[in-house]
Amino acid sequence: MKTVTIRHNSAESHVTGQSVFVNDMEISSSQLVGRVVYSPLAHGIITQLDYSEALNMPDVAAILSAKDIPGHNQMGPVVKDEPCLAWPETMFIGQAILLIAAETMDAAIRAEKMIRIQIEPLETTLSLHSAIEKELLIAPPAFIRSGDAESAINLAPYTFDGILETGSQEHWYLETQSALAVPGEGKEMMVFASSQNPSETQTIVAEVLGIPKHLVDVEVKRLGGAFGGKETQANHVAAWASLLAQATGKPVKMHLFRDDDQLMTGKRHRFLSKYRIGFDKTGLILAYIVELNSDAGATTDLSLAILERAMLHAENAYFIPNISITGKAYRTNLPPNTAFRGFGGPQGMAVIENAIDRIARFLEMDPAMVRKRNFYGFERNRVTPYGKEITNNRLHVIFERLTESSEYFQRRVEIQGFNNKHKYQKRGIALTPVKFGISFTTAFLNQAGALVHIFNDGSVQVNHGGTEMGQGLHSKMIGVTADALGISPDRVRVTPTSTSKVPNTSATAASSGSDLNGMAIKHAAETLKHRLIPIAVQLLVSMGCKEAKAENLIFERNLIFDKYFPDFSIRFEQMAETAWKNQISLSSTGFYKTPNLLFDRKTGKGNPFYYYAYGMAVSEVELDVLTGAYTLLRTDILHDVGDSLNEDIDIGQIEGAFIQGVGWCTREEIKWNEKGFLLTHSPDTYKIPTINDIPVDFRVSLLRDFPNEGTIRKSKAVGEPPFMLAFSVWLAIKDAISAVRQHRVEPAFTLPTTPEFVLLSMEALKNE
């Protein structure tokens, strides 16, 4: 399979500064800026809202509260429990109460200072522990079960109990939440958004404005990063800007300051997970009982779907015959937590990966061998807890190839030698696998549309339902279009995602952007080819290629020819022009839905995934025993993307996801004060990985020769799965900590393992 490697279609414009983001857009000189006034209290009832003085300030065009919303005061994406503007109850610090439109940001800030808001405090719940204690469930618990875990645990030769807490994570997209709303004639509203889900943005804007969707157009040129943070929460700025634009009759741009963005928006869900695991002396897991408890924040957002994905990944790559998975999401007075790369998968997997590490230490086995011992098999042991059979299992081939290329076993011995010699430095190594289910688990969302135009000069425009957020989707789609029509990529342009070109789309999420939209584009291209082939045959015959036949035509290198008479060929543009003159439509839609998906939430059984993406990583770290600081010495990754749609982009996604995962596992720590105010709301207090955190020696490879049948060009999704390869770093750190006591004692462990935590864990071990 040839791979058309096309560089990222924003590469040049990003580097030269020509790329347009929402905040760069100036629609007219009358454009206003929008600003949000948000709750300073985590929970309370608003008793006074006085902005009359602020409204009289110069350059202030409008101030809106909940009572000024013409439609529904709602922006909950799934469950309607999230007001657009709080009234009378406020549920978290950062919840929007008022909107200001002004000529300048200075004027808006001056106006804000004149506003008086009084809030009568109510009881707040800020920690997940207290939400669990108070049983503040946002929905009934969910279950996935297979076998009889309780009995099997009681019969198991060995068992462990444990609790693992995993932390939150800020998305830190470079472009903060932004939208520009432009009122049109009558009630028309055009929104330029930075949203992963333009159709849902359209829905929410229509709902708050109280108008049908056909009056709202949402357009997304690109996002300056999203990582899940703009799957639902980009709707908010779009709704707010639209309300102000409708009220003032002028375009309104809203672009959150970094600190406001961090304070106001939800993050990765914190989890507190309790488990029991039973195993035998060979390391074989016999039973696993796990309860996953997540902090939803103040409203539901996507919490239930995220919890479901956590549950569907609780066993990761391992066959566990008796398993009981419970999921519970709790309400706290923090911003609603939301999608973040991996969508719950990381939180679910962390628990089993840590438990297996414990088993290995207890049995004095190599953790990689305990993992291998429990991998899903080929013949037997291939049914997941939710009843789906694993086919095309790549775990074993990746394990063989990666342990060899990374010299895992040899290095483990060397590390032992190093640790014996060094008192103040300890090294650790770990190999961890990822098996990640691809598809939205809400089955109907697995659909996509495309619109392809061929112009009569032979150039092509593609529009599809996916959004470009840096992940390279548009570049991949250019490749798919060029390939399907047999033309060079430079003839194809992807136009901004638009609800008026492709309607009713799903979010670009669940890593499935290229799977879904790629197929839709291919279908549109096939329809067009079907219409063009008779024209091409006519042209070939008229050139003297008398025996040219429709079924033998090849579209390649901007030419069309009969495969038996390659000396005769016509140019793509010549065919397009002739078709146009023959009154043939050169525009087509395409549609795709993933076949045979179904997951029954009541029984916890079904086929929620079209296929799985697999990967493995080996990481080695060195700890400074005196400070807890660590260096990531080397990481080897072997990851399965089927036949890559674009190798450079896929490797970039693997590197980026892995490093983002390393940030979550080891460094990023969110702190609130006792009132629920976010203390880490800027880059000086919240640390995402930098160039220094990249492994000194970083080797990323793609698994070769394993095409994925049934997807666009036999490729696999790549956006999220490699995030979870960061567990190799997390557990390498644990391995190094436990070297302080020759691996005889299980160290205290959590996520993130900040240097501070590592130091405390080592100190505790020394005193054991």
Burial (0-12, 13-18, 19+ Cβ within 10 Å), 294: buried
- Is 725 a residue that touches ligand MTE (CB under 6 A)? no
Angle between helix axes 367-374 and 395-405 (nearest 10 degrees) is 160
- Supply 27's token pair: 């629609």
CA distance 561 to 582: 20
Is the Cβ of residue 224 or residue 228 nearer to ligand MOS in the bound state? 228
Residue 175's binding partner among ligand MOS, ligand MTE, none (Cβ under 5 to 8 angstroms by kind) is: none
Is the Cβ of residue 354 or residue 471 nearer to ligand MTE in the bound state? 471
Is the Cβ of residue 495 or residue 558 nearer to ligand MTE in the bound state? 495
Q: Between residue 122 and residue 161, which ones bind ligand MTE under the rule CB under 6 A?
A: none
CA distance 646 to 521: 16
- 720 is known as an active-site residue: yes
Q: Which of 53, 231, 720, 763 is catalytic?
A: 720
Residue 433's binding partner among ligand MOS, ligand MTE, none (Cβ under 5 to 8 angstroms by kind) is: none
- Is 508 a residue that touches ligand MTE (CB under 6 A)? yes
- Is 612 a residue that touches ligand MOS (CB under 6 A)? no
**Helices of type H across 156-226:** 198-209
Cross-strand pairs, 559: 556, 571
> Per-residue x/- mask for ligand MOS, residues 320 to 349, rule CB under 6 A?
-------------------xxx-x------
- Supply 397's token pair: 């081939």
Compute how many other C-beta atoms are within 10 angstroms of the C-beta atom of residue 552: 13
Binding range to ligand MTE, per CB under 6 A, among 297-305, 510-518, 677-685, 738-746? 510-518
Q: Which residues contact 348 (CB under 8 A, 6 or more apart)?
A: 292, 309, 310, 311, 312, 313, 314, 316
**Sign of the C-alpha dihedral, residues 538, 539, 543, 547?**
negative
Q: What is the spatial order of strands in the sheet that 116-121 belongs to?
A: 89-90, 44-50, 116-121
Which of 90, 316, 619, 653 touches ligand MTE (CB under 6 A)? 653
DSSP 3-state helix, strand, coil percentages of the chain (rounded to 5)? Answer: 35, 25, 40
Q: What angle do CA 591, 593, 596 make, to 5 degrees?
A: 155
Burial (0-12, 13-18, 19+ Cβ within 10 Å), 58: exposed
Long-range CB pairs of 210-216 (<8 Å, 24+ gap) are 210/70, 210/71, 210/72, 211/71, 211/187, 213/499, 215/186, 215/187, 215/188, 215/189, 216/188, 216/189, 216/190, 216/191, 216/242, 216/499
Residue 473's binding partner among ligand MOS, ligand MTE, none (Cβ under 5 to 8 angstroms by kind) is: ligand MTE
Q: Between residue 309 and residue 368, which ones bind ligand MTE under the rule CB under 6 A?
A: 341
Minimum distance of ligand MTE from residue 15's CB (angstroms) = 15
> Per-residue x/- mask for ligand MOS, residues 481 to 520, rule CB under 6 A?
----------------------------xx----------
Minimum distance of ligand MOS from residue 347's CB (angstroms) = 12
- Is 711 a residue that touches ligand MTE (CB under 6 A)? no
CA distance 207 to 196: 19
How far are the Cα atoms of 477, 553, 558, 636 from residue 485, in angstroms, in the given order? 12, 12, 8, 38
Minimum distance of ligand MTE from residue 666's CB (angstroms) = 20
- Is 472 a residue that touches ligand MOS (CB under 6 A)? no
- Is 468 a residue that touches ligand MOS (CB under 6 A)? no
- Cis amide leading into 608 (omega within 30): no
- Is 192 a residue that touches ligand MOS (CB under 6 A)? no
Is the Cβ of residue 278 or residue 721 nearer to ligand MOS in the bound state? 721
Residue 469's binding partner among ligand MTE, ligand MOS, none (Cβ under 5 to 8 angstroms by kind) is: ligand MTE
- Is 562 a residue that touches ligand MOS (CB under 6 A)? no
- Is 441 a residue that touches ligand MTE (CB under 6 A)? no
Size of the site for ligand MTE (CB under 6 A): 22
Residue with nearest beta carbon to ligand MOS: 228
Minimum distance of ligand MOS from residue 602's CB (angstroms) = 24
Binding site for ligand MOS (CB under 6 A): 196, 228, 231, 339-341, 343, 509-510, 720
Binding site for ligand MTE (CB under 6 A): 225-228, 341, 466, 469-471, 473, 508-514, 653, 656, 717, 719-720
User: Which are the catalytic amino acids?
Assistant: 720
